Copies of this chain bind each other. A is one copy, B any other.
């Protein structure tokens, strides 16, 4: 048996061409691309053998700037690993930081905080009202009105902040862990506050399902507005790869310009 090093990688990706992060039958997942690049370069012999783990299972269409994966490798590529696998990853998935981690490191279990950002296109919302209502989410609550399931729905939000930038309302939410679609449902609820169709009392009721009738049916805001910004761990020292970051930014320019142009064309038609 060869000596293995346990490593973690930070990944950015644009989710709109994928059926979500997690590999699954008959679906084009971001993980399928990652596993293929790892196996092609003999970084791992097999995913299971490498004790692979990931920090978050982002949904279909959701993006990330700081998704984390971890695995054992005997390849000895060190901090050139991001560059090596980027060569075989598609243009919308990029590894951009590397860390050596303890043998027992698990990207999901050891994450102490996850930071999500929602980009809400500003259609003239009442932002002060949204900011005021957003404060109600911080702390520990029963989030069953912001989830699909009804058991195990208590979560603690450390921070929720709203700012306006370039025609968008940016909603930053940080928590040790989230329920499925939780950030998108919070964004949708805050949008209703901003649009004036609900008030802060409604948020208070939603967050108190034991005392108030359960308000089902907050439809999650669209996936394309959500980014997994970062995942925090204790004691992990990241080595950022400036070359990969630069190449990623270059690769993104054309697609970004296409989206900006399509927006202008729709506005002009």
Contacts and interface: CB of A to CB of B under 8 A. Distances in A.
Interface of A: 12, 14, 16, 63, 65, 117, 119, 121, 166-168, 222, 224-225, 227, 248, 252, 255-269
A2 B171 CA distance: 63
Given A119-B261, A260-B121, A261-B119, A252 B227 contact: no
A167 B260 contact: yes
A78 B203 CA distance: 51
Contacts of A257: 121
A167 B259 CA distance: 13
B269 A12 contact: yes
User: Which 5 residue pairs of A and B lie closest in terms of their CB atoms, listed nearest first?
Assistant: A256-B266, A259-B263, A259-B262, A260-B263, A121-B257
Contacts of A225: 261, 265
B269 A252 contact: yes
Copies of this polypeptide in the complex: 2
B261 A267 contact: no
Contact of A227 (B167, B222, B255, B268): B268
A259 B269 contact: no
A168 B121 contact: no
Given A63-B269, A258-B224, A166 B264 contact: yes
Contacts of A16: 262
A266 to B, nearest CB: 4
Contacts of A227: 265, 268-269
B252 A259 contact: no
Contacts of A222: 258, 261
B259 A266 contact: yes
